[in-house]
Structure 1
Amino acid sequence: MTLLAASSSPALPLSVVAVLAALAALSGYALLCAVSPFARCKPCEGNGKTRKRGTSPKRGWKTCRRCKGNGLRLRIGRRLFHTTRATGEATRRLHKAGTR
C-alpha cells in the first residue's frame, strides 16, 4: 500500500481550485492597486512624450495624450475603487438628507 492510496483526504474539484486561484489573483491585484496606484503609461513608455508621425526625430515629439505628459496612468482597479467609493458617499449623503 502506498502513501497516496492510504490518504483519506479527497482531492478538491477543479471548479473549487479555479475559484480559489481567481480569488488569489484578484486579491493580489487589489493589493497591488493599494500599494502602487499608478503604472507607467504604455503609449509613451513612461516618458511623457510620443513621436509625431512623419516628422524629423529632432522636432517630432509631442506630449502624450493619455498621461498628459507625466508618464503615469491610474490603474484600472484603482479607478474602479475611486468610482465605487464616490458613488457610495453620494448615496449616503442623499439618504442622510432624506431624499431618495
Structure 2
Amino acid sequence: MTPLLATAGHTGPDLGAWILLAVLAAAGHLLHCVIWPYRPCRKCGGAGRFRSPSGRAWRYCNRCSGRGAQLRTGRRIWTHLKNTNRNR
C-alpha cells in the first residue's frame, strides 16, 4: 500500500486580492461621491415635499428641508478630510 502524500497546495482565500478589491471599491465610491455629491432624499423620494392625506395641500419634507436631496456620507468624509488638510 502506498502512503498518501500531502501536497502543499494553496486552498485558502487569497487575502491580498480581497484587500485590493476592498480598496478599489472604496476608492470608486469616494470618486462617485466627489462627482455626484447629492443623493435623493429617502423620505420624500427626491420631491422635497409631501401631499396631505386629502391630496389638496402639501408640506416640505423635514429631513431634506424641501430640497429633495441630501449630501452623501462619502462626500461628508471627503469634505472633512479636505478641511483637515487645509487647516494644518
TM-score bracket for this pair, using the shorter chain length: 0.7 to 0.9
Aligned equivalents of 1:27, 1:86: Cα separation in 2: 19
The letter for the 1-side match of 2:64 is C
Is contact 2:49-2:59 (8 Å) kept? Answer: yes
Aligned equivalents of 2:11, 2:36: Cα separation in 1: 37
Is contact 2:41-2:70 (8 Å) kept? Answer: yes
Asked whether 1:80 is paired with 2:77, we answer: yes
Query: What is the TM-score with the length of structure 1 in the denominator?
Result: 0.65
Q: Higher helix proportion, which one?
A: 1
Query: What is the TM-score with the length of structure 2 in the denominator?
Result: 0.73
Q: CA deviation at 1:86?
A: 2.4
Q: Which residue of 1 aligns with 2:27?
A: 27
Q: CA RMSD in A?
A: 2.2
Aligned equivalents of 2:31, 2:85: Cα separation in 1: 21
Asked whether 1:16 is paired with 2:16, we answer: yes
Alignment gaps of 5+ in structure 1: 1-9, 93-100
Tell me the percent identity.
34
Aligned equivalents of 2:12, 2:60: Cα separation in 1: 52
Alignment gaps of 5+ in structure 2: 1-9
Taking a change above 3 Å as real, the CA distance of residues 16 and 24 of structure 1, as seen in their structure-2 partners, is: same
